[in-house]
Copies of this chain bind each other. A is one copy, B any other.
Amino acid sequence: MVRATAAGSGSGQGSAPVPDLPPSMRDRVPFLLFRASQISLATANQMLSPTGLSARHVGILTMVTELGPMTQKALGNALGIDRTTIVTLLDDLERKGYVIRQRHPRDRRAFLIHPTGPGRDAKTAAVRILDEQQRRFLAPLTAAERRQLATLLKRLQAPPVTAPERG
């Protein structure tokens, strides 16, 4: 959890001067992405803390309520979460009564994760919080700029053209 200490305003004042970054870092997109994501995730989890859920829990609930029951592996792939971490997160959600593990009818190795009624309610409440978080986080941008940013980020998600697999 990152303290969202404001960066930037450096010079003068006896307060805590946050040192500027060297120009070579200030324009490095991977670094800017990391910092933005770090701040955003920290505030999201902080705002979610009254619900007892993390952003990852909400991601899982959103997937299974909006796309229907799916396996743990599918959840992990979609959300970029390690397979063993999925186990822990689902243990949490099952303990709270928000999801149910049910054997996959066609593959008895796997479980299908089903949302429950309370799970859907919790998801709705949590998404409202995340909507507010997103609104605050994107406050410095105009509506057009937000759409622009989303578009650019989506373009980056696309699978790398330089496939490491066979070409």
A residues in contact (CB < 8 Å) with B:
1-9, 15-41, 44, 55, 59, 62-63, 66-71, 73-74, 77-78, 80, 104, 112, 127, 130, 133-134, 136-141, 145-146, 148-150, 152-163, 165, 167
Copies of this protein in the assembly total: 2
CB distance from A130 to the nearest CB of B (A): 7
Among A15, A19, A141, A150, max chain B CB count under 10 A is at A19
Nearest 3 Cβ contacts at the A-B interface: A22-B66, A4-B68, A37-B37
CB distance from A60 to the nearest CB of B (A): 11
Interface pair A159/B4, CB less than 8 Å apart: yes
Chain B residues with Cβ below 8 Å from A69 are 4
Interface pair B16/A163, CB less than 8 Å apart: yes
Which of B34, B70, B137 is close to A7, meaning CB atoms less than 8 Å apart?
B70
Known: A32-B153, A33-B37, A139-B160. 9 other contacts (CB 8 A): A4-B67, A5-B70, A15-B167, A16-B159, A25-B66, A26-B154, A30-B41, A37-B38, A39-B159
Interface pair B158/A8, CB less than 8 Å apart: yes
**Are A24 and B127 CB-contacts (below 8 A) given A32-B154, A34-B37?**
yes
Interface pair A30/B133, CB less than 8 Å apart: yes
Interface pair A25/B62, CB less than 8 Å apart: yes
